[in-house]
Amino acid sequence: MSEKKPSVLEGFKAFLMRGNVVDLAVAVVIGAAFTNIVNSVVKGIINPLVGTIGTKNLDGYSSCLKGPCTGTGASAEGVRILWGSVLGATLTFLITAAVVYFLMVLPMSKYLARMEARRKAKEGTHEIIEVTELEVLKEIRDALVAQRGSGHDGR
């Protein structure tokens, strides 16, 4: 009595049909498109602003660790630290993170907090009504018990 093992193809199909895989694929596609927007903002706005201080291209900023640092590309000599390109990548990351936070995360968390507050307010209203109804029913019960008790004593 051996159990039938699912085929590799069936397992792969089950993997692809999971909801989180599809969500992840959508996120990657949107992220790639969003990266183009952020890169355009960095190249079109941030780099010119930095260019007012120095050069428009941050990749041009470097320091020579072991000289003489001459030439570029395959003919470069010396050991150069290209801190300008690191700065540019860091700015791109910070801009991306800020845009995602301020345009997506913050509004969504505020919306979810509002929805949670509304839900709690509705639940709180129902609890008050239920407690009030329960208290009224207890009072009616106590009044009926008191009436029965006084009716038996009077006879």
pLDDT at 28: 87
Q: What is the C-alpha separation between 118 and 98, in angstroms, rounded?
A: 29
pLDDT tens-place string over residues 11-57: 888 777 776 777 788 888 888 888 888 778 777 887 777 778 766 66
Best CA proximity match to 79, nearest among 88, 91, 71, 90: 71
Q: What is the pTM of this model?
A: 0.49
